[in-house]
Amino acid sequence: MRRTNSVNREIEIFLRVSIFFVRWRYLGSIQVDSVSG
């Protein structure tokens, strides 16, 4: 049970980090396009 809980916690952290990274890349690309355009 403890192992499953730790795995779920790692997956949750990974998903949060990946979503944050995708948002950052998306917003960054919009800013770059707006500045260059």
Q: What is the pLDDT of residue 24?
A: 87
Q: Per-residue pLDDT for 4 more than 70? A: yes
Tokens of 7: 């795995």
Helix (H, G, I), strand (E, B) or coil at 37: coil
Element (H, E) at 8: helix 2-36
Does residue 11 register a pLDDT over 60? yes
Q: pTM for the full model? A: 0.54
Domain boundaries, given as residue ranges, for the chain: 1-37
